[in-house]
Structures are given as C-alpha cells and as structure tokens.
Amino acid sequence: MEQYDIAVIGGGAAGIVAAICSARKGARVVLCEKMPRLGKKILASGAGRCNLSNERLDPAFYNPESRALVKSVFERFGQSSIERFFRELGLVGHSDNGRIFPASNQASSVVSVLEMEIKRLRISCKFHCDIGGLSASGDGFVLRTKLREVFPCRKAVLCGGGKSYPALGADGSGYLLARHFGHRIIEPVPSTVPLLAKDSWCHTLQGQKIRAAVYGFAGGRETGKASGEVLFTKYGLSGTAILDVSEELSIAIHRNGEKDIFVSVDLIPFMEENELRDELSGRLRRGFEKKDLVTGILPGKFSAALERELRELDVPGLANFLKNRRFKIVGTRGWNEAEFTAGGIDTDEVVAETLESKRRKGLYLAGEILNVQGRRGGYNLAWAWASGWTAGAAAAG
C-alpha cells in the first residue's frame, strides 16, 4: 500500500494548484479525481475561454462573511502571483476590460499547461477515484474510495468543490467528508443562476435580449443591482444582469424561505424617466399611434408585450412602467445551470494564514468547498488558484 505525504481530493482548479505547490516543495502527492480527467469545470469556464482572474482582486467583490479570509489569502497569493504562476508554466494572458484570459482564448490551454506541470513533477493522479470516506489514522489520514481502494497519507487537502454543474464532477460530496470532522456547512444554494418568473411577458418575449438595469428585492429590501443583458425565456429571466443579482435572491428563496421576491427591470436605462416621458409625449404630438410609441426605442416584440399598457396607461404612467417593470420571482433554475455555489464550509473554521482546519490538524480546505463566492469576472477562479496554493504550501510545510 502506497503511503503519500499529501492527498489532494478534487482535481479542479484549487486541487490542481494545491498538488503542484505541494509537489514543488518536495512532498509525495496523490491527486484524487472522480472524473476521467482533470479540470472539467475549468474547460467549461468563461464559455470555453477560461476567465483566469481579474486585475482587481478586491475582497469587496466577495460575499461579506468571507472577506477577511479572502484578504488573507490574496495577501499571500494575489493577482501578480497568479499571473507569474501561469506565465512560468508557459501560459500567456491578456486583459479584456480587466478580466484576464489566456491569449489563446481557449480554456484547454490552461488545462494543458497544468497537466504538463503535473507530469513534470510526477504527481500521482488517480481518475474515477470517488472518495467515499476520509478518516483520521494516527497522525495522518486514510482515504477510502467507493471502490474500496485505500490511500494513507500524512495530510489531506480537501478541494471537493461546490454543487454547480454536477455533470462535471461537483456534487457536494466533499461537504460530507468535512462534516465527518465536525465542520459546519452553510446550506449551499445555486448562485449566478437564471430566475423563474410567472409572467406572460416571458412567453411573449421568449428569446429576446435587451440591455437593461436590474434591481433585486426580497422582503421589501433591495438585495442588489446590475446592468447588462436580460434574456427572456419560457421559464423566466436570464442574461448577465439577471445572473449578477441572483445570488442574494437564491439565498432568500432556498435558504431563508422568503416569498416576496421580485426583480425590477429598467427596460430603457439609456434615458432618464423625464426624458422618456418627453419623448413619448412628443411622439403623440407628432401623430404616432399608441401601438407604435416604443418603436425605435425597444425591439419590435415589445409592442405586442405592451399592448395593454399602451392602451390603458397615460404617458407618465407608461414611462414609469418602462423604467420599473416588475417580475415576480418564484424560484431559480437548478444546479445544472448555476455557475457557482453560494454556501459551503464556514470560513470561521479554517486558519486564515494556512487554510488548515480548526477542527482537525493536518486537514486543509480550499476552493469552492468553502463559503466563498465572488462575482462573475474571474473572481471565483482567482480564489480557487490562490486558496489551492495557500493550502498546498501550508500542507507541504
């Protein structure tokens, strides 16, 4: 039976970097991945382009309860360190409005250079390796797979991921391993996810995209705002602006059981309400029929969607409606459509400087398995690289 210095559970972004860092420090490492290859979620990230990081890695772009931990980790391995790490592997990056991508614009390039380094370091990779148990054994640990393979090790780095995209290997099983050592799990809910809305517009406008400003509300309080694309679908609302306000709404729905959830969409963000009112009044004076009042301002499908409002509302009422169109939100799409996970292992239960568990010495936690969520734009992958490095370095001593 092979004895390893460090076992890394999870071959995603955090796990790969943790394994590389530990091996560079001379540790004998085994990397356990349940899928047939490493980095399946990396390959799917950024629509296949892999948004590696962001030029501005500020803790303010992460959920409030994680910011102290994020700050500590980025002080050790921040944007310049991430850039240097990949540059030394041979990956050239470029900035797209602050978002860092590989120059090839291919996520496969990222996985390739990581695999090359794993091969160079002779890291043992075990595929189809689904860990069913992690238990303490003397001063170390024993990993047991669901196929009854056993891997003893001195230390373990748990990078099991969250629950988004289960088809790519993230199914939340890592939480069970952490719970075995007494870790508290903040209930995971889908994040950066399309929203379900009961509204006739979603059917009428199915497939229509617009640029809009979106405001989320739960229990009468504003939960977030974003500008960007809104996509109308048969089930509700999607698009970048919707994804960017979805986290707090998903928490309110799934974790807190709140019912009074809605989004307010400013359909015409490029005009102030008084400007829009003047424009509509001017059109009426010039002889526009009411059914044509928004032609040239909104796509053609909106004339049909607005049939009742165009007929019943006066100009001030119509202008206000267009600037504050409310959609009642009744749920979210599921894990297969959620880009990230909100929730995970309580960040208060790891040592900020090392990511070592406060519940079990020698156990380290990194990546999305912790209750750390960043905005879209490379923040979540940046956290994975940085936390993987921090945990891997600490585990290797």
Does 291 lie in the same domain as 379? no
Contacts of 373 (CB under 8 A, 6+ apart): 62, 63, 66, 191, 247, 340, 341, 342, 380
Task: For residue 141, give its domain range.
Answer: 4-189+342-396
What is the pLDDT at residue 278? 97
- Domain-located, residue 286: yes
Number of domains in the chain: 2
Does 356 lie in the same domain as 255? no
Does 307 lie in the same domain as 163? no
Does 19 lie in the same domain as 140? yes
pLDDT of 226-245, one tens digit each?
A: 999 999 999 999 999 999 99
Does 169 lie in the same domain as 37? yes
pLDDT of 361-391, one tens digit each?
A: 999 999 999 999 999 999 999 999 999 999 9
Does 353 lie in the same domain as 309? no
Average confidence score pLDDT of the chain: 96
Assess whether pLDDT exceeds 80 at residue 1: no
- Domain-located, residue 337: no
What is the pLDDT at residue 391? 98
Distance CA 244, CA 71 (A): 22
What is the pLDDT at residue 2? 80
pLDDT of 2-38, one tens digit each?
A: 889 999 999 999 999 999 999 999 999 999 999 999 9
Does 170 lie in the same domain as 205? no
Domain containing 119 — which CATH number?
3.50.50.60
Does 93 lie in the same domain as 46? yes
- Domain-located, residue 55: yes
Domain boundary residue, one of 332, 358, 381: 332
Domain boundary residue, one of 301, 332, 363: 332
Please state the rounded mean pLDDT for residues 304-313.
94
Burial of 88 (0-12, 13-18, 19+ CB in 10 A): exposed
- Domain-located, residue 26: yes
Assess whether pLDDT exceeds 90 at residue 169: no
Does 315 lie in the same domain as 358? no
pLDDT of 75-93, one tens digit each?
A: 999 999 999 999 999 999 9
Does 99 lie in the same domain as 12? yes
Whose CA is closest to 106, among 41, 46, 31? 46
Does 281 lie in the same domain as 261? yes
Whose CA is closest to 354, among 9, 22, 20? 22
209-218 and 261-266 as β-strands: parallel, antiparallel, unpaired? antiparallel
Domain boundary residue, one of 290, 310, 332: 332
Question: Would the pTM count as exceeding 0.75?
Answer: yes
- Domain-located, residue 376: yes
Does 371 lie in the same domain as 293? no
